[in-house]
Structure 1
Amino acid sequence: MLTRIAGGRVVDPVSGRDGKADLWIQDERIVEKPVQAVADQVIDARGCVVMAGGIDVHSHIAGGNVTLARLLLPELHVSETAGDPALPFSTARWSAFETGRLYARMGYTTVIEPALAPSAALATHLELDDIPLIDRGALSVLGNDDQLLSLLRRKEGSQAVRDLTALTLATSRGLGVKVINAGGAAAFKQNVRAFGLDDEVPSYGLTSRQILLALLEATTAIGVPHPLHVHCNNLGLPGAVDTLVATMKAAEGRPVHFAHAQFYSYGRHESGGIVSAAAEVCGALAANPNVTIDVGQVVFGQTCTISLDILRQFSSRKAGRPRKWILVDGDAEGGGIVPYRYRRNSDINALQFAIGLELFLLSPDPWRVLLTTDHPNGGPFTAYPRLIHLLMDKAERDRTLASLPEIVRERSGLAAIEREYTLTEVAVMTRAAPARLLGLVDRGHLKPGARADVAVYREDADRTAMFASAELVLKDGVVVVRKGEPLGWRAGRTLTLAPESDPAMRRHADHYLEERFGAGLESFAVPLEAFGERNVFEVEPCLT
């Protein structure tokens, strides 16, 4: 089918376009304007902005901890659209169906779950498969598991670490690798309650730095397109900026991505508490062009923090609102679910809000600072339209800032920043840059050959309204959203890597798992048979 999107303002930073133009789609792909062709379908986009579909690199949308959070807080999701009762996860509050619907109506077409626990990979992928309208992927978590730490303790060498990492990616069907407070969860199990970059994990004799560098080397050797995705030590603490900057330097020029950097952009104020260190972080970004970050912007309101950083969640449990929480001391990371309410009149929460915006606005390069809320940890992903509005409109920021405690003006530089994002910069941080970071060469742009994932927005000075409800969204060339409303249930795909795994490492891992759990490697695999006749997975190539 040949489709013409006619008369819109096409904003595509990859091709350098920002102007009125037609966009042509042949079936699932964007194409050059055909010679003497008549479109089967013409979409009138006059008065609209046309962008590639949005891509979110870090949003907790599936997995055991997400499910536990839904069970812990059913009262938060009493008015959502119900999903198909025949699907196993679609009737839980904030269901899989609701996740896909809310992303699609904002013009997003690809979302990455950043914490795929290899021990629970099948359950996570089954839930991801229930999310309609969008494509998904997940990052396999390593860095606290006994199998990896034992290899490092025995000094078995970089090839063994590479082989185990490749096997983990292949078995769990991950799109990349994430490390969460490297060694921190393992140290927590031995009664450690604070863990820095150069602290040792008891009984392993390994520092967080050593674990991190081993995984950096392994992912590079395998050719994982997405740089190692790092959740640093000391999240949320005064002075956490020191850890973030030290970890940037530890990468020694190798590509690395830091998650939810806002929660590390805190200096120590002389009178106690935190002060914005956003300028210092952006200075470190300028000095380390190998580094990318996503922000993890805080937004005001009730949410629930979900993390495999059990050490941090244990420390935060008493601040939970409402006063209920879950900690899971499981294999490797375990996890924690702590409800939290970000309050506008709270000095700390207001500062967190301001610091996140500073990171965006002081950024030396919009290609390396990406929009996330670390959903749901900083707040829901549905806040993206409002955040885009604040970044694009200085007057709107000033009105918001005027409603916040005075400490925000004393301990952050947000009020003095004049910068306003352009639509091109918005397209960079929400489309082009995430696609490039993930190695998804046919997404995030509108050049011929790209996947026909397209978002059409009615031009509106109220950017919140504009980006909250897309006029039209096409997924693989098919209209799936019209005037902000999904047109039905449509299956997406789950993006994975499939690196070759060493047979000797397979045998080693199978024996290890049998000894530790009484179940071998196949018990932790994600078999295609679990998904019936559905063609769920799409394999992305590794770098060569």
Structure 2
Amino acid sequence: MELLIKNGAVYDPINGIKGDKTDISIKNGKIVDKVSSRALVIDAGGRLIMPGGVDAHSHIAGAKVNVGRVMRPEDTRAGIIPRTKITRPYTGYTVPNVYAIGYRYAQMGYTTVFEAAQAIMKARHTHEELEEIPIIDKGALTLFGSNWPTMDYVREKDMDKLAAYVAWGLLASRGFGIKAVNPGGGEMWGFGKNVSGLDDVVPNFDVTPAQIIVSLMKVNEMLGLPHSVHLHCNNLGKPGNYKTTLASMELAKQVKPSKDRQVMHVTHLTFNSWGGTNWGDFESKADEIANFLNNSENVTTDMGQLIFGSATTMTADGPVQYANAKLLHAKWGNGDVELEDASGVVPIFYVKQISIHAIMWAMGLELALLTKDPYKVLLTTDHPNGGPFVNYPEVIALLMSNKKRQEEIKTLNEAVHKRTRIPGIERELDFNDIAIMTRAGSAKVLGLLDTKGHLGAGADADIAIYDIKPDQIDPSVEHAKIKSAFSSAAYTIKGGEVVVKDGQIVATPAGRTFWVDASVPDQHTDIMMKDIRMKFKNYYSINLANYMVEDAYVTHPNVVRAGVIPVTAR
């Protein structure tokens, strides 16, 4: 199949294209230099064209998502979109069903999305759900930050064993990369405790969060994984936690990258940029986080932007969810994954007149606007923690229009003026910045620039066309049109196939699941597996044979071979 897109205003930051009228040729699902005269032609009519959107951090599948669905029956009562000849019934807002996830991402022009946290033990269920999400490509990051083998090998300073465990864990979970959530804290939560800083010692393992983070970064580079360590910092959700965040990012200076990317990605910084000592003097410290990023080359982040209204907080950080439930007098669910991690789910409603919520709303925007390089801050809402992903167009409009921000500020608690810098920030991002934060930057952070996030020859033919003409619109003034256009793509093309036209789903191909195959010397795996078998014999409640994700669970795989650096050389 051949397709030619003509007469569009193309924004492709990786290839240095900023609004130029450039033809895009597609053949057999890939972008090519040219096509034959038989190609189907789409005339974009001067409309905005970008690569398909890439979301590097979202919660779209797995056990905690289903707990959220059970806890939010009002999501379903809000309405069910009935079956059509093309689409299945779908429903939900903060925790939509699997079909809604695929359809709605595609309708916004997104074609690739990564689940941000899966425990190895629960990975089979995660992949069952990923398989059911239509259209989009996806993958899942695997939790390693509180796993018993991780902490054993960190204590022993045995990086060969730790590398072998991570490589095996990625295979066992069909995972894409290393995720660490409140390192060490998940283990302590099993005893009703938590870590309060990077130098706290985890009982029974005699390791600290700092040691866990640095060791995982070193192993990540030893294995040559495409993505860096994906870190959810300790002390999330506590006033004053920006100090822990800065200290965590400082740890990245101890490790050199094996690839042209960061060594640490710190996620959803709206929840980790908190100043003050209590809720009474709570304030934004996003400016200090941005200052660090402006002077650092080995750390990237994402916003985790707060959206007012309903949300469902869900995370592998069990202690913070317990604290949220007690603070808010809310219902909650708690999960413990034996020998691996903890989790929690708490429904929430963000209110404009609550000072804490208003300040949090400002934090994500401050982070994006005060950080000079848009490649260092990805656009996310930490769906559904900060708010549902369908609100990305709202965030885009806020970033591109100071006028819209000022209009919103007028409706918020006055604490925004006293405890944030957002009222005085005049910077407005442009279409190229947005293309970086939602496409090029995300693909680079994930290590997928060979096929994702750009429109050069060889890339996946994932393309979004939006119904606005960049040379005929002022995003600062016409922000409502910006939001509307990014909410409903004129065309979304996935793998060379038109899947959305005029905002409507017209095809539902199956997306692929990306996972990473990392290699270590066989002798390291053999030695490590003796420890794993002992753990299963003495502690696990399931058999090792029932633990790993089998090929049958991933029917459309895209296996990424890690760029192997011989572990013995380290």
TM-score, with length taken from structure 2:
0.90
1:499 counterpart letter in structure 2: A
* 1:351 aligns with one of 338, 354, 359: 359
The residue that corresponds to 2:567 in the other structure is none
- The residue aligned with 2:37 is 38
**Corresponding residue for residue 75 of structure 1:** 74
| Cα distance change of structure 1 residues 402 and 189 upon mapping to structure 2, 3 Å threshold | same
Confirm or deny: 8 A CA contact 2:81 2:91 kept in the other structure: no
In the alignment, which residue of structure 2 is the partner of 1:11?
Answer: 11
**Other-structure match for 2:484:** 465
1:444 aligns with 2:459: no
Q: Report matched runs for 1:37-116 at 5 Å.
A: 37-78=36-77, 79-81=79-81, 94-116=96-118
1:427 and 2:435 are equivalent in the alignment:
yes
| Structure-2 residue corresponding to 1:328 | 335
Report the CA distance shift for 1:202/1:475 in structure 2 as closer, same or farther (over 3 A). same
* Secondary structure, counterpart of 2:341 in structure 1: coil
1:480 aligns with 2:499: yes
Deviation at 1:270, TM superposition (A): 9.4
State the Cα distance separating 1:195 from its structure 2 match.
Answer: 2.2
What's 2:313 paired with? 305
Which of 534, 538, 542 is the aligned partner of 2:558?
538
- State, as a whole percentage, how many aligned pairs show the same letter: 37
What CA deviation, in whole Å up to 9, does each residue of 1:97-148 have, x standing for no partner? 0100110000000000010110111110110110001000000001212232
Equivalent residue for 1:206? 207
Q: Is the 8 A contact 2:118 2:140 kept in 1?
A: yes
Deviation at 1:469, TM superposition (A): 0.2
Residues 369-414 of structure 1: per-residue CA shift (max 9 Å, x gap): 0001000000001110011001111111111111112110111111
Amino acid at match of 1:256: M
Paired residue type of 2:331? K
Unaligned runs of 5+ in 1: none
TM-superposed CA distance for 1:190, in Å, is: 2.7
- Counterparts of 1:456 and 1:98, CA distance in 2: 21
C-alpha distance in structure 2 between counterparts of 1:46 and 1:160, whole Å:
57
Question: 1:325/1:284 Cα in 2 relative to 1: closer, same or farther (>3 Å)?
Answer: same
Q: Which one-letter code corresponds to 2:54 in the other structure? A: I
User: SS of the residue aligned with 1:182?
Assistant: coil
1:2 matched to 2:2: yes
Quote how far apart the aligned CAs of 1:220 are.
Answer: 1.1
Matches within 5 A, 1:74-223: 74-78=73-77, 79-81=79-81, 94-153=96-155, 155=156, 157-223=158-224
The residue number in structure 2 matching 1:503 is: 526
Q: Is the 8 A contact 2:189 2:342 kept in 1?
A: no
1:143-169 per-position Cα deviation (integer Å, ceiling 9, x unaligned)? 21223223334x161111111111101
Deviations 1:65-113 (A, max 9, x none): 100110111112331435799x999788721001001100000000000
Aligned to 2:227: 226
SS at structure 1 position matched to 2:461:
coil
Moved more, 43-52 or 481-490: 481-490
Q: In 2, are the aligned partners of 1:89 and 1:95 still within 8 Å (CA)? A: no
Shift in Å, 1:246: 0.4
How many Å apart are 1:309 and its aligned residue?
0.2
Please give the secondary structure, in 2, of the residue aligned with 1:273: coil
One-letter amino acid matched to 1:424: N
Amino acid at match of 1:324: K
Distance 1:212 1:465, change over 3 A: same
Normalising by structure 1, report the TM-score. 0.94
CA contact (8 A) 1:308 1:335 kept: yes
More divergent stretch after superposition (88-97 vs 173-182): 88-97
Residue pair 1:83, 1:98 contacting (<8 A) in 2 also: no
CA root-mean-square deviation: 2.1
- Provide the rounded CA distance (Å) in 1 between the counterparts of 2:278 and 2:326: 25
1:59 deviation in Å?
0.3
Helix, strand or coil at the partner of 2:517: coil
Shift of the alpha carbon at 1:422?
Answer: 0.6
Instruction: Indicate the larger mover: 248-257 or 133-142.
Output: 248-257
The letter for the 2-side match of 1:308 is A
8 Å contact from structure 2 (residues 199, 208) kept in 1: yes
> Who is 1:275 aligned against?
283
Please, which of 410, 413, 437 is the counterpart of residue 405 of structure 1? 413
Q: Distance in 2 between matches of 1:456 and 1:43?
A: 10
- Contact between 1:366 and 1:425, CA under 8 Å: does it hold in 2? yes
1:525 counterpart = 2:548: yes
* Structure 2: distance between partners of 1:413 and 1:430: 24
